[in-house]
Structure formats: C-alpha cells, structure tokens
Structure 1
Amino acid sequence: MSTQNQVLSISKPSYRQGKNIARQVFHEVISAIDLRKAMVEKLRHEGETLIAGEAHVHLARPPHVIAIGKAAVRMAATLDEILGGRIASGIIVAPELPATRLEHFRYFQGGHPYPNEDSVAAARAALEIVSRLTPDDVVIFLISGGGSALFEQPILPEVTLKDLIEFNRVLVTCGLPIEQINVLRKHLSAVKGGRLAEAAHPARQLTIYVSDVPLELPSMVASGPTMPDGSTVEQCYRLAEENGLVPRFPQTIRKQFEGRTLRETPKPGDACFQHSQYLCLLSNRDAVEAAKQALERHGFHCEIDSGDWDADYRDVADRNIAALDSLARNHPEQPVALVVGGEVICKVTGPGMGGRNQAFVLYAAQKIEHQDRVVLSAGTDGRDGNSPSSGAVADGQTVSRARALGLDPEQYLAASDSYYFFRTLGDTLDTGYTGNNVRDVRFWLDFGSN
C-alpha cells in the first residue's frame, strides 16, 4: 500500500486535538532516536575487534574511554555493556550525573551553557589520561552536543574560569550560528579543534559522535575535540571583528585577538589523525525522518522542508508558512504537515527566560492566529535556552487566549521571556533532559477545513 493510501485509510485528525497530537509526535521522535538502540544496532564486539559502522578497531587490551556531552552518560553505559565492562579507564562529563555509576570511570558534572569548575577538571583529567597513551593503546571518544561548554581547558593558563564564562556568555547571546561560535571557541582551547586527538597521539583513536550541528560540519560537534579543524585563526579574527565582539571579551582573551596571537589548530592530513576513525551515530536527519513517519501514522500528508534553516527565527517561520500554504493548496482534501530541522538563530534581547524554540513558536503563533493550524518547536536535548523546557506548542487560539490573560506576545518576545508566556498558558514542552541531542525539530500542522 502506498504512503498516500495508508494516510487516507487512517481516521482524519481533529484540529481540536491538534496540540495533543503535536506533543505526542514529539515524544515519539524522542523515543525513535534512542541512543542505546542506535549503539546496539551499529556497534558489535566480536572477539578482540570492535566494529563501529565501517570502522574496525582491534582491542588487544581494554580501551580508554572519554565521554563528553549531553549524551555522555548513556553512551558510556551502552559502550560498557557492549564491551562487557572491559574498559581500562574513563572520563564522563555531562550536565546531569546518574545515581548508579560505572566502574573504571570518573564522573564530572560540567556546566551548560557556560563552563564550570567540573568542565575544566574533566578536561584536565582527560588530558592526563590520553597524554600517557602509546601506539598499542586504544582510546574511544564518545562525543555529543553541549561538549563545548561541558568540557574546556584554555590554552593560556592566565585565562580564568570567570573569563571562560564571560567569553561563552558573549558568544551564545551574540546571534551567530553555532558553527561560527565554535570557530571562535576552538582557537582558544587546549581540547577543541582536534587538540584532544593531538594530545592522544600516537594512540589508535575511535570517535563515535551524535551530531548536533549541520551534517556536513562534523568537526563542529562539541567544537571538534578529536577531528581535523577546517577553520583558521584568520576566520576567528574576522568573525570577532565584523561582529563587534572583541571589546566585549574579557581582557585575557581580548588581548589574543588584538595582538593576533591565537594558535592554529591541527588540520586535515596532520599526523595526529593518522590512526583515527569516526562513526556518526545519530543526527538531525534521524529526528526529522522520525517526525515525518510519526505524523503520517497520525493521518497527515507530510513533507520535509530541507532548506537551510540555521537563520533568523522570524525569517524561518515566514518561509515555513509559505511552504505550508503551498502544501495545503496542493492537498486540499487532507490535513498536511511540514517538518523542519536545524537550529534557528534567536538573538537575546531581554532579561527573561526562554530560548530559540519558544521564541519561534511565540512569533509563529501570531502568524497563525484564528487559523486551524498548530506549530511545535523543541530541542531534542530537553532544554531550550536558559529555560527548563524543551520548547512549546501553539495553535490558532493561542494569541487570543494570551490576550484574554493580559499577555502581550510582542512584549514577551522583546524581553526574551517566551518561557513565562507559554508556561502561563500551559503550552511548554517539559521532557526534562533526554540524555541526547540532535538539534531541534519543528513541525507545522494544517487541518484545512476540518
């Protein structure tokens, strides 16, 4: 049976249940991108060989493991299971730590979105382990999103933790896309931009990563601690100068830009990557495909809009609505859905609480007022910006409900306070930390004349 016939055989979804359907689909997406399931499917331990996708790693002795990022705890636990506990030593740094801990591992609760003392301690501990390795050793790096803040060690000793926090605050609030932010981070760090791999040379290295960046930019995951860096110090200088960032940096970092003394990172072809292999475990594409399949199961004709969505959230919303309009015109007899991935850009303009996903939905809610439409946007990591929610959902009645309660959408947008707007309405998405991160997923539902 064709997909279209399958959709037509399902009872037509109701707009009255639109927000509930959207919530259910998001939870189905989170279940579909389960880390343990992906690792068990893609990794096999046969004798003294670990097979990870196309990579084959001989394990004559137990490997060392460095797990970094929002998915670090679950990735390390699953690898330990696959290897039957045969791990020499390990580091796990994550935003939240488990009650039950693995043998052979040291745990650090790093900071996010800004580094903390454990972020620095974890990086030092990892450098201590990998710097002692020989060509006979194997180190497995488990990398996921959030690692840029969770795991950090500045190159220059005079750069303090306070300086690192301020530097990251400037970056995450300046409105640049994540790939440009990470270009700047890489060149100030002793563990980013391939420098962790450089420290681990001459050991054999396997990096298994969950991508929270554009798929074509794998070295941007956690600022690429184990991958060759294609960016340059000249790009750093240009990004900082063109965006007026240098005067906002703390003095110990500002002087490196003013004096043009940044050190270059290891590049493709460098000897330190000679024995490195890589496996992408999950990416945003997996989440987007899972959303499409879930929406089709719920009775929608669904399409993926695969444009470049790492742009201003208002521009993205406007383009999404135009695409949804076209999709609805082409399928007038059935409800339709549009799925979009990526991470929109949302500059912080006020002191409130929220994030790019909730700001996106707040702007979009005004565009679909009085229409039989629903919009949802959420982060697969379970956190949106500085709020405790992963995102929000809205429909054609959201704005009128808000105004009846005295809430002005534009005021909340200007104050970067989208979380309190949606919390008041009961329309936040509260999953808690998911232990995963493959960027954001957003979808639009159009119920037509239903």
Structure 2
Amino acid sequence: MSPRQILRSLFDAALAAAQPERVVPLHLPDGGALPRGRVIVIGAGKASAAMARAVEDHWPGDPARLSGLVITRYGHGVPCRHIEIVEAAHPVPDERGYAAARRMLEHTVAELGPDDLVLCLISGGGSALLAVPAAGITLADKQAIGRALLASGATIGEINCVRKHLSAIKGGRLALACQPARVLTLLISDVPGDDPSIIASGPTVGDPTTCAEALTVLDKYAIPLPAHVRAHLESARGESPKPGHPAFARCETRLIATPQQALEAAARRARELGLSAHILSDAMEGESRHVARVHAALARQVADRGQPFVAPCVLLSGGETTVTVSGKGQGGRNVEFLVALAQALDGHPRVHALAADTDGVDGSLDIAGACIDPTTPARTLALGRRLADVLADNDGHGLFQALGDSVVTGPTQTNVNDFRAILIDAPDAAL
C-alpha cells in the first residue's frame, strides 16, 4: 500500500468504529424493559438521522410504536419509516431548522406522561440545528452572533456556552419540556473531553455555565451585540437549568461513540499493517496552525532522532482545533492544520499526513480534509503559490483542491471530531 492508501485506511477504520449502525443497538432497551407508554424519538446532529434509522432497524419491540422528529444537516438525512427526518442548515441555522426545532419543543414532546420514554439522539452539529431562540432574541440575532463566533477562533466550549444562554431549547431546556417522561439520551461525542453539556449544547443535561460566562466569551472575542441581547444576558433572563435540577431526575445519558474509540480503531488498523501506532491525544485544542507546528516538531524528532518513538510509525490525534479567519479563503481547521504542517516539515522525505473531519465536512465545505506528502511544498510552488501565503489567506481548501489532494467522503453519518494521522517512514524503507 502507498502511504496515502495507508492513511486513508486508518481514517476509514476510525469512521467505521463510530457508525450508528454499530454503536446504537448496544444501548437500546431489551425486550423485557420496554416502556408501558409511548416511545418518542427526537434528536439533532449530523449523525442523528442515521442514529434514528439504527433505532428503527434494531428496536426490540414493534417499531410501529416509534414516532418522533430528528433534525440533521442538509445532505445527511437517511430514510426512516416511522421517525420524521428534517434537514436544515449547519453551522449557521436557518428558518427550516428553527421551524422544526420549535415543533419538536412545542408539539413532539408535549403532553408526555410518566410511562412514556423519550429517546434523544444527539451528535455534533446539533447546536445549529436546535435553533429556537430565547424570548426576545431573534433567529437573525443568533445567526449573526454565530457567524462572528465561528470566525473568531473561539473554542467549541466557548461557542456553545453562548448558544445555550440565547436558546429556548439547548442547555437542558429540552429535558424540561419532556417532563414527566423518562429521557434516555444517546450521544456521539464530537467535543474534546466528551462533556455531555457541550455536545450539541447539552439539550437534555444540566448546564454548569452561566450568563455571565457567556458575556465574558463574547467580550473576549469582541463580538458585537445588539443592546437587547446584552440586556438579556446581563439580566440573567437566559440562565439555564443547572445540574441537580429536579427535571433531570429521570434523565439518563450515555456516550455511545467517542473520538478516543475512533483513534483506537485506527491504531488497531495500523498494527494490522505492521506499523506501531501512538495516540497523542483525543482532545487537542488551539489554533490549527499552532497545533500543526507542534505535530511537525514531534514528527521530525521521530524521523531524525528516533525519539520518543521509532519509525516506521503513525502518530494519531483528535480533538477540535480552531481557525481565526482573517483571509479570503474558506477556512477549515483540518486543511489549515495541513498547510501549516507542510510548511513546518518543508518537504521532509519521510513524513506523510492526513487530516479530516469525521463528519465529512471541514469548515463549511463538503470536503472532509486533505493529505500532504513530501512533494506538497514543491507542487504548491509549481502552482505559483507559497504555503505561507495560503496560510495567511486561510485558503487550505483552495490549495488542496488545486493539487488534487482533498479527501472527499460525502456525509459519513457519524461525527467524532477531527482525525489526524502522521505516517513516518523508516530510514531507507519504502512503504
């Protein structure tokens, strides 16, 4: 196998480990534990439609008893027989997502009883898809603030802190609406640390953050706020239900797929191919270009010094880096990482890499990521461009499309955050 084929094989193994068809059935109730009342299936996220399909395919009782509403990103829907699937916009919400989320809150989970079960299917992307603004806040307000935060370099935890305090459905409020039914939430994690209160802004779990913290985030990144939005936060009208609130007494949350599990699957695949594999972290954060330079320094140390690992080997990492968009490019944290990595490696002859988002969407484009190899700097120059200029313009997608090095998967039906693999060849060895 070529280095690029090896890297793609590792990425495919990571995706396979987090497929809803594989992980959802393990967490469904058995036939003897089915509820006496109704079973309402709700959810949001890029993997949520595939999760709903897995529920229908593996429900231990009569699937005709299932009903509900799940919201996913455009292009990520899959057909279901009993559960309604609505596609809407991500990462900035649109009217379609707003209407569906409002219907979920006001009708789908309305008038439930204590014998009913709400099965809530949540994955990354759910924050933008559950777009019901708090009273006095408009969808246009949320769209403008969201766009600014996404371009600011804020972490996902910071962004979701703000989202929760401008929402009528996130930050545990969906659980309040489901009372007195029992709520079982199945989570596919796309956030560093796998914190359920951050994944899709925690619609069914208590929120430990505050309005004051949301204001701190907005001020930190100089996000312009309409006066009524600032007043909403300063008055604490947007405060969310906290852990320990009685509404969560009948709520259970299970992590069913995580970035760590995906990285472990990739490591197993690497060992099958005769390579040692080293997971650096499943929770890396920071500016993509800075994270890339650290990875490049470590790859060089392995290749040139045999420390701390011996080549041939693969370095694996996950997490969610950020991009502060200041240029005219499309951004995309994985391609930004790769441009900076290629620049720092400067054509090192024994290092190849792949970085991609496991949902198939890096930034706002339907491109998962890309690959680099020792020829990337020279081929970039042959296009009349310099890696430094590409990085300054946040135009990784433009470069890798021109080079033919983009990784395009289409909707993967899962979302366990970024995947990075750096392959370091042994001296004088050909893979």
CA, structure 1 residues 370+326, in 2 after alignment: closer, same or farther (shift >3 Å)?
closer
Higher mean alpha-carbon deviation, 115-124 vs 100-109, is at 100-109
In structure 1, what is the equivalent of residue 172 of structure 2? 194
In structure 1, what is the equivalent of residue 327 of structure 2? 350
Query: How far apart, in 1, do the equivalents of 2:77 and 2:121 lie?
Result: 20
In structure 2, what is the equivalent of residue 32 of structure 1? 17
1:150 equivalenced with 2:135 (yes/no): no
Tell me which of 416, 424, 428 is aligned to 1:438.
416
Query: How far apart, in 2, do the equivalents of 1:209 and 1:99 lie?
Result: 18
Tell me which of 398, 422, 425 is aligned to 1:420.
398
TM-score, normalization by structure 1: 0.89
SS of 1:139 mapped into structure 2: strand
Higher mean alpha-carbon deviation, 97-106 vs 162-171, is at 97-106
Tell me which of 342, 356, 373 is aligned to 1:395.
373
CA deviation vs aligned residue, 1:364-403 (integer Å, no higher than 9, x gap): 0112223110111110000000222101110111010110
1:338 equivalenced with 2:338 (yes/no): no
Alpha-carbon shift at residue 240 of structure 1 (Å): 1.7
In structure 1, what is the equivalent of residue 346 of structure 2? 369
Mapped contact 2:53–2:78 kept (Cα < 8 A): no
Structure 1, gaps ≥5 residues long? 1-12, 50-57
The runs of at least 4 consecutive aligned structure 1 residues that moved more than 6 Å come to none
Query: How far apart, in 1, do the equivalents of 2:12 and 2:203 lie?
Result: 31
Mapped contact 1:354–1:387 kept (Cα < 8 A): no
In structure 2, what is the equivalent of residue 174 of structure 1? 152
Q: Which amino acid aligns with 2:97?
A: S
In structure 2, what is the equivalent of residue 135 of structure 1? 114
In structure 2, what is the equivalent of residue 9 of structure 1? none
In structure 2, what is the equivalent of residue 281 of structure 1? 256
Q: Which amino acid aligns with 1:146?
A: G
Q: Which amino acid aligns with 1:422?
A: F
1:264 equivalenced with 2:239 (yes/no): yes
CA deviation vs aligned residue, 1:41-65 (integer Å, no higher than 9, x gap): 3435323x1xxxxxxxx41133111
Higher mean alpha-carbon deviation, 328-337 vs 435-444, is at 328-337
Query: How far apart, in 2, do the equivalents of 1:71 and 1:281 lie?
Result: 12
Alpha-carbon shift at residue 306 of structure 1 (Å): 2.1
User: Equivalent pairs: percent with the same residue?
Assistant: 35
Query: How far apart, in 1, do the equivalents of 2:259 and 2:77 lie?
Result: 29
Q: Which amino acid aligns with 2:12?
A: H
CA, structure 1 residues 97+352, in 2 after alignment: closer, same or farther (shift >3 Å)?
closer
Matched positions, count: 422
Matches within 5 A, 1:13-52: 17-47=2-32, 49=33
Q: Which amino acid aligns with 1:71?
A: A
Alpha-carbon shift at residue 24 of structure 1 (Å): 2.6
CA, structure 1 residues 98+284, in 2 after alignment: closer, same or farther (shift >3 Å)?
closer
Mapped contact 2:52–2:83 kept (Cα < 8 A): no
Alpha-carbon shift at residue 162 of structure 1 (Å): 2.2
Q: Which amino acid aligns with 2:171?
A: G
Query: How far apart, in 2, do the equivalents of 1:100 and 1:197 lie?
Result: 25
CA, structure 1 residues 216+72, in 2 after alignment: closer, same or farther (shift >3 Å)?
closer
Structure 2, gaps ≥5 residues long? none
In structure 2, what is the equivalent of residue 66 of structure 1? 42
TM-score, normalization by structure 2: 0.92
